Amino acid sequence: MENHFWATDMVALLVRFLEQNNGAFSNRAKEKEFKQLSPPEIAAIEENYKLIFAN
């Protein structure tokens, strides 16, 4: 159950960062908060964010 809460918090953090930067991670976010993500993972998250939240 503990991992579930971590995942929920991480998704909320991802969305917040993407909202603040027009659907893209800032370099700082990639180097600090989300350094565990690979470049292909970051690209996929950004693409999916844009597909889901496109106006």
pLDDT (0 to 100) of residue 54: 82
**C-alpha 34, offset from chain centre:** 8
Q: Rounded to whole angstroms, what are the CA distances from 50 to 3, 6, 32, 45, 47?
A: 26, 23, 22, 9, 5
Query: What is the structure's pLDDT at 22?
Result: 92
More confident residue, 50 or 5: 50
What is the pTM (predicted TM-score) of this model?
A: 0.79
Average pLDDT, rounded, for the chain:
87
pLDDT in tens, 6-18: 578 888 999 999 9
Query: 38: burial class by Cβ within 10 Å (0-12, 13-18, 19+)?
Result: exposed
Report in angstroms the alpha-carbon separations of 40 from 2, 3, 6, 8, 45.
27, 23, 22, 21, 9
